[in-house]
Structure 1
Amino acid sequence: MKIGDKVRFLSDVGGGVVAGFQGKDIVLVEDADGFQIPTSITDVVIVDNDDYSTSRIIENKTQPKVKSIPDDDEDYDPAERPVTFKPMAEERKGGDKLGAYLAFVPVDVKEITSTRFETYFVNDSNYYMRFAYMTAEGANWHFRATYEVEPNTKLFVEEFGRDDLNNMERICVQIMSYKRDKSFILKPAVDVQLRLDIVKFYKLHTFRESAFFEQPALIYTLVENDKEVRPLVVDPDKLKKEIMNKAKADDMLVSSANRHPKTEDKNAPVVVDLHADELLDTVSGMSPADILNYQLDIFRKTLKDYEKKKGKKIVFIHGKGEGVLRHAIVNELRYRFKNYTYQDASFREYGYGATQVTIK
């Protein structure tokens, strides 16, 4: 059975077209009205056209045979009529505020370096959610899936391998929320773009326990308490404005220092704090890569400004963190500024997260 096959229900009237799968045992059957009905894979059979009557069932030895519903003029036991009632989705207290998440779950968490992954959409609200799931291909987008998710449930979207990760660095999820058979408060449509850190898929500790899964998962927030997550995409104009404002502030500091040269200790090292909150007024709209590149630009500019002052010591405060900035700085010193020497700065004065560079 595959997506696009026409199927008929065994324990209910009607049928539809296979629109997708939830795990290995549940098939999503899309009816004529466009609604997707989760159904056990053992409760459907493939048919060769749109006639869902029992006479058109394709023989399938793995499927149990269904008893035909008798005509109205035949005698039959009403208890034998298939149950067609479907209860309304359960709601929970506090669930009228939207909550939605995109989750990635390792198929085999014990083999994190080689395992495949499953993608899930989690609807943590009392609303039905219809979502579209896309990934970027350069300046364009590739459509991957669209489903309707019932309230307070999670839905399997797809399975992928490590070869697919390079095509999943930028993800877009668009969501429309509503309720069925009752009035509801209108919610704005959600449009979230995320940047996946591909390196995290190789680290076991990034997959953590959660209330949504029995196994560890990497979970990205799309919307929580009706608030859409801040998009991890860069506004080029805003970034340029931030950099220009910071450059003007730096020029003012240099000008002020030049007006009071006698107060400077010539033997004291120059201290440059590379923390993002020290360099920029705000990092809103900037991705981690954009912030890192800006920090490295300040690092290079500082070394360029002092390149003629032989023996001058410069302390760059980068923080301990995960060591990404420090690693990038060391890489610059090894290959771009080979003539300069460097070492860990004084722990007593600057803590663990600082590197001292000496101009040669």
Structure 2
Amino acid sequence: MKIGDKVSFLSEVGGGKVAGFQGKNIVLVEDEDGFQIPMPVNEVVVVKQDDYTTANVINKRAEAEEHRAEETPLNRGGRSVKAMMQDGQDEEVDMTVEDTVDDTKEVTYRPQAVERQGGNQLSAYLAFVPEDVKELINNPKFTVNLVNDCNYYLKYTYLQAEGNSWTVLSEGEVEPNTVLFLGELGREDVNHLDRVAVQLIAYKREKPFILKPTVDVQLRLDPVKFYKVHTMQVTDFFESPCLLYTLVENDKVARPLVLDAKRLKEEMYAGKQTDAAAQAPTAKQREQLVSRYTDDQSKGNKRNSPYIRHRGLDDALVVDLHAEEILDTTQGMKPGEILDYQLKVFRDTMNAHLNHKGQKIVFIHGKGEGVLRRALINDLTYRYKKCTYQDASFQEYGYGATMVTINS
């Protein structure tokens, strides 16, 4: 009697295959369900011995394959579930063959994106994160990141303006609720940074979703902000403060607060329409808009206007012509009206100091489209011919400032 022999019980019904031995007197008999039954050696009798010749082994394997081919879920060939599950476990495996993995094959499986509650409204931001806040002035370095704060995949294009043309800096896809690195910025990149644009297409994979409109946002970046610590803000997306620009938030596309040059030109040269006049603010409303300070609020006289301050070793006057600095609000005002008021502040300042020979006045107008600067230069060329002007110091006043010297 040896392992593999078929045996039958003498004193009871049953039998099986010899699976092993326990000592000299106990044999382990495995039944059809795979259970091993210990029996005394003298209580079993060999019914059939296994033939381990090559021909017999091949015939048995062929019979087994034919038997499996005939099996169906309803006809299991009389075998138990456990016996069917053990098919192939006794096959010999060639261990000399190396188990290799082809790393060049593309992984096609993608896990389902994890969605968060309340994330089905589009929210995306463009973030400039400084590598070292302490080095902003001497050696500014930033990483550019696209923040996807929603449950949608975003197909994006990140572009930079070069005159009237655009150059693609990065394009691809950002997964839901993730931050994607787009590139880096050094000092030279920051100094030449002016206009950038981001285009977005939102969608979901392998499930229905609410269609969102495409997003196309142009941003005008002020390089001066990249050198100042107080312009950085703390966010939930990064550990360090950063410059964060909203592209779309809660399905509302951001509209940068910059003036459209073409629209300004139309407002300046086009005739006034009757409907425009009807929508124009009343005299009382205009008074509330422009009368930010009364004469008795000034420090002695109108020369000491609240938006004029002494600054620098040359005791130059500094006048900030940004709309938010000289107006409490621009609500109800058209771009042409804002420009008219900025020019009024400029002319009032110039007229107040025409008799102060040698006086230097710095007008901060911002970089922008250059509409306000061109209007100032036009006045200096034809209205104030005896005054000289030049670009003000970038280190002291930043981009978009003009210094005027009173010569008459």
User: TM-score scaled by structure 2?
Assistant: 0.46
Write the mapping of 1:212-291 to structure 2, written as runs, cut at 5 A: 212-240=237-265, 276-277=326-327, 282=332
- Of the three residues 113, 117, 130, the one matched with 1:106 is 130
1:211 alignment partner in structure 2:
236
Shift of residue 305, structure 1, vs aligned partner: 6.8
Q: Is the 8 A contact 1:194 1:232 kept in 2?
A: no
Aligned equivalents of 1:173 and 1:139: distance in 2? 16
Alpha-carbon distance in 1 for matches of 2:236, 2:116: 15
Residue-by-residue CA offset, 1:327-360 (whole Å, 9 max, x unaligned):
89xx98x834466xxxxxxxxxxxxxxxxxxxxx
Match of 1:68 in 2: 101
Q: Structure 1 residues 298, 165: CA separation in 2 closer, same or farther (over 3 Å shift)? A: same
The DSSP-based 3-state class of the residue aligned with 2:115 is: coil
SS class of match (1:97): coil
Cα RMSD for the two superposed structures: 4.3
- Taking the aligned partners of 2:335 and 2:199, their CA distance within structure 1 comes to 19
Q: Distance in 2 between matches of 1:148 and 1:301?
A: 51
Counterpart residue number, 1:335: 404
- TM-fit CA distance, 1:94: 0.8
Query: Residues 222-270 of structure 1: CA distance to partner in whole angstroms, max 9, x if unpaired?
Result: 000000001344323432465577xx999x99xxxxxxxxxxxxxx966
Matched residue type, 1:152: N
Q: Tell me if structure 2 keeps the 8 A contact 1:133–1:174.
A: yes
Q: Which blocks of at least 5 consecutive residues in structure 1 are unaligned?
A: 1-64, 70-81, 254-267, 311-317, 319-326, 340-360
3-state SS in 2 of match to 1:136: strand
Question: Contact conserved, 2:267 with 2:335, CA < 8 A, in 1?
Answer: no
> What is the CA-CA distance between 1:297 and the residue it aligns to?
1.8
Deviation at 1:137, TM superposition (A): 0.6
Matched with 1:130 is: 155
State how many pairs are aligned: 226
SS at match of 2:168: strand
* Residue in 2 that maps onto 1:36: none
**Is the Cα–Cα contact under 8 Å of residues 160 and 197 in structure 2 kept in the other structure?**
yes
The equivalent position to 1:297 in structure 2, one of 343, 349, 354, is: 343
Cα displacement (A) at 1:194: 0.4
| Structure 1 equivalent of residue 8 of structure 2 | none
Q: Secondary structure at the match of 1:335?
A: strand
Change (3 A) 1:305 1:198: closer
Q: Choose the corresponding residue for 1:92, options 106, 116, 127.
A: 116
Alpha-carbon separation, structure 1, partners of 2:187 and 2:210: 41
Q: CA deviation at 1:211?
A: 0.4
- Letter of the structure 1 residue corresponding to residue 348 of structure 2: T
Change (3 A) 1:139 1:179: same
| SS state at 2:183 partner | strand
Q: Counterparts of 1:83 and 1:134 in 2: how far apart (Å)?
A: 30
Q: Does the 8 Å contact 2:156/2:172 carry over to 1?
A: yes
Q: Distance in 2 between matches of 1:230 and 1:207?
A: 20
Alpha-carbon distance in structure 2 between the residues aligned to 1:156 and 1:237? 34
Distance 1:166 1:83, change over 3 A: closer
Equivalent residue number for residue 188 of structure 1: 213
Name the aligned partner's letter for residue 146 of structure 1.
E
Distance 1:125 1:283, change over 3 A: farther
Compute the displacement of 1:160 (Å): 1.7
Q: Does residue 141 of the first structure (1) align with residue 166 of the second (2)?
A: yes
Paired position in structure 2 for 1:153: 178
Distance across 1 between alignment mates of 2:199 and 2:131: 26
Shift of 1:281: 5.3
Deviation at residue 116 of structure 1 after TM alignment: 1.4
Counterpart code for 2:172: Y
Separation of aligned partners in 2, 1:199 and 1:123 = 26
| SS in structure 2 of the partner of residue 68 of structure 1 | coil
Going from structure 1 to structure 2, the CA distance change for 1:196 and 1:336 (only over 3 Å counts) comes to: same
What letter matches 1:115 in structure 2?
P
Query: Cα offset for 1:111?
Result: 1.8
What is the TM-score normalised by the length of structure 1? 0.52
Asked if the contact 1:192–1:222 (Cα under 8 Å) also holds between the matched residues in 2, the reply is yes
Is the Cα contact below 8 Å between 1:232 and 1:285 reproduced in 2? no
In structure 1, which of residues 142, 161, 164 is the aligned counterpart of residue 189 of structure 2?
164
CA shift at 1:66, angstroms?
Answer: 8.4
Q: Give the structure 2 partner of residue 61 of structure 1.
A: none
- Which structure carries more relative contact order (alpha carbon 8 Å, separation 6+)? 1
The 1:125–1:153 alpha-carbon spacing in structure 2 relative to 1, beyond 3 Å, is same
Contact 1:135 1:167 in 2 (8 A): no
